[in-house]
Structure 1
Amino acid sequence: MGCLGRIRKRLKGHSCRKKKIKPCKESHPPNVSRLGELQSSVPSAVAPQELQRTSGRAPRMHPYQERNHSVVTVHHQTTGQESRLIREKNELRTQLQQKTDEGVRIKGDRDEKRRKDEEIQDWIRRQWQLQQRDNAGRDAKRELELRNERMKETLRQKDAEIAQMKESMDATERLPKIGSQRQHQAEHNLRQSMEISEKEATRALKEKNDLTQKINTLQKELATKDERMGNDKKQTEAILQQKERELDSLRTALGTENQHLRTQVESLTAERDSLQTTIDSLKAERESIRQQYTEVKAVAENFQYRLSNEFCIRLASDETNMENISVKHRPAKIAEKFAQIESKEWVEAKEVLDERFDDEKTNIQILLFMLKFACKCAQQVFDGFLSSEACRLYNPVATTTDILLTEQNQNSGGSPRVPGSILKEITAFLKGTCGDCDIESLMQSVVDKMKEVHGDDIAPILQDTHVRSFVQACCRLSWQMAVQQPPLTVLTSNTHYDDKCHQLWYNSPPPSKSKGVSRDEIDYYIWPELRHSDKVLKKGRVCLKPIPR
């Protein structure tokens, strides 16, 4: 057997050796499925085709490649275990944070405190398990370091074998030229094997350095997380002690309050018994008083009904005796509206007329005519309503034909006599609707009358917003005045000044200072008097004639 044969035999024997890897000292079996996934995801260090011989035999893994493959497998196993440990540690930290939040919300229940204690014990057990797993990771790291030392030792042995083979090759140089070709081929294969071994050794060393750096980083992170978890545990224990002290104080306070409440309940029970006796006597007295009240109420209701009927009849015939404040459109409110129109709508409409006509007196008379004509039309509408509808309500059978209605109007002087009760219902209905009813027809009558008296020159003025607002206010007020009983009227027929009925215009001459009946004559009315029968509700505004000297 030559030198080349011995080299082949040694390589063959080395490839048949098996590396014995000690199992990781863990309390739980390794995750085989996860390791399989990691091994499948790592590419092989050297392609098998590079070691395939030209003789056509099946490819066989090189010893250095087999060694590198085992190192990569162990490295990925360790990395997978550390990743799993980190995930479990994060999960335990999340659970610890949740339990800490639950401990803050403890309100002093003993059962809840016991449950929290059990959770803390469980957390301590999990922490212990985590510590055990950390210890297992450290053991795996030490095992990895031992394997690296063994690999270095193996590399040194191979280097020694390579040196011996070089010496053998030097000795074979003296052999005949027949074996020189085989020797060159063996040297070439040996160089390739050495280059591959050096590359694998360099790669393994680099991976080892990376793994060492990662392990150091993980150790630092584990130390930081352990410190944080210790701080969180201390805070949780402090909060639990504080809540326990609060629970003890609350129990003491509740015991004192319960004793006080029992005393109050006993006193209230005695008081309730005494009050019940008083209530029984008062109920008997109430029944007797209720019976007396029922008898008196029946008499009072009968008297009130007779008095109300009599009062309604009198009030419907003349509302000046007493004013019902529950009616929205009563004479007092109409008087306020009468004065408001003079101070607002009348002033705005007069300004529009003053811009068109220069004569102030003529403008005032135009506005006064609008108001007086609106009152006249409203009264005619109300009288017509009584003549047509009120008679049908009073005697519907006899008024079904126009002939009977005409005879009745002639016998009553043109205005039917309506009983007080029916007249009251009619006026009450009209008073309720006079503020919202449609007055367009009444406004149109005033506009047509103004065009008839003053011609088409006044038509543009009647279209003005302020003038139209004045006409609308006058028509609304006139209808509210007409539905009263008796109706409200405007008066401009007095010829002499009376301070009880009149007010002076701003540019009117002053009245005479003589005592007795005033002899001052009225030149013209600016705003009429408002009267309810003989009662003056609002004074009229007048301008006196100048006193001759």
Structure 2
Amino acid sequence: MATMSEKDLKADAKNFCESLANVFMMKRRDPQTQHLLQKSKSLIEALLQEKRSKTERPSIPPKPARAGGGSMGQLWVKLDEMKRENDELKKKLHGKMHDEKTMQSKTQGPGEVIITELHKSKTENETLRSQLEKSMTSIKELEKVNLTLQDEFKRTKVAHDVAQKSLEKVKQEQKTLESSLDTVKTENDKLKMRCTNSVKPMKRADNRFVENINEKCRPSNIALLYNNLESQQWVDAKEGLEDAGYEDEEMITKFLCDILMVTYSICTELLTDIDNGIAGLLKDPSKLLDSSFLDCTKDSLCLPDELLHSIKDVLRQNYEDIDPEPIVTKCKEKVRCANEWDQFEGVLGHKSINRYMEQCACVTWQMVVQQSPMWLSTSDTYFDEELHKLWWSCDKSSAKMIKFFVWPALYDCRNGNLLVKGCVNTSME
């Protein structure tokens, strides 16, 4: 009987120690773990206290067993054996903890099963908790995105409403403008009718004073050629004179302007000679045999207007066939005769100067063969902003009197409409 009870006690102690080892593997914050630890701690302290009290007491020889007291002696003996075994198990416990963590016992007690399940549950709980935290973080981020999208939607909606109102306002303004345009068109038509009924049409014998757009040689095209002459050949000629060593800009510009005016006068005289010559030939065709005929026709009677206009039509149609070289030669002769341009005699054969003279001849010839000859003017003495443009070196605030023309003004006829402003150099007095 004593051996059975001793074996039971040993088995209980062994199971308790194994359970205690498993408990050490768990976290101590678990209530069941704490309870088992406290229980083992109290038991171990009680056994240690009892062992200390035994060692401190003097050894007393065991009393002979009394009748009826044998069972208590055996219990004390078993208790001492259990204490010794418990101490040995404590020493072995620390060495076997690592092996018992990796190996599972074939036979597990109910406490071990509960602890294992509790460990699994805690691991799953921690995993679920981390997932829950991630989900909560994602939910917060999505809530922020949702709030941002809601704000954007509100702003977009407000902007859409404003744009819708602006569109409606623009549509209303468009309707108002359309109605106003219709009203203005109606009033314009009425005014046209009134003007047509009140003004009597002018009677004209022919259409020769109206510009014919079918002709290339017409005032508007000539005005374009005149502008190109200033911006191209005139600039090249000016640079050629500067390269040749002429530094006085005033003298250069006056010289080039005079060349243009001389060419214009030569073309005008040429047309007059044609008029007088034809009139003289029609009067006496035999005069054509006389080589000095043209010199004698200065005072001849002019052609009738209708015949002269017909001749000019032919001249305008053939304006591209005219040879500018005789006109250039005549211009050079006149320049040489003028004493004030003696210093430029050496550059009259320069390419840029010659090209400038040829272009002047072609443009001015087209001017004089118009039905009403176009007019180049350098006769103004006072600066007028509507008729003149200032040379770059002149001050507009002090522009009053015209010193000289850098570029003549072009009119569609004498005292007619201005086509190209003249460029002038001015002074205070």
TM-score class, shorter: 0.3 to 0.5
Q: Return the index of the structure with the highest Cα Rg.
A: 2
Normalising to structure 1: TM-score of the pair? 0.37
Normalising to structure 2: TM-score of the pair? 0.47
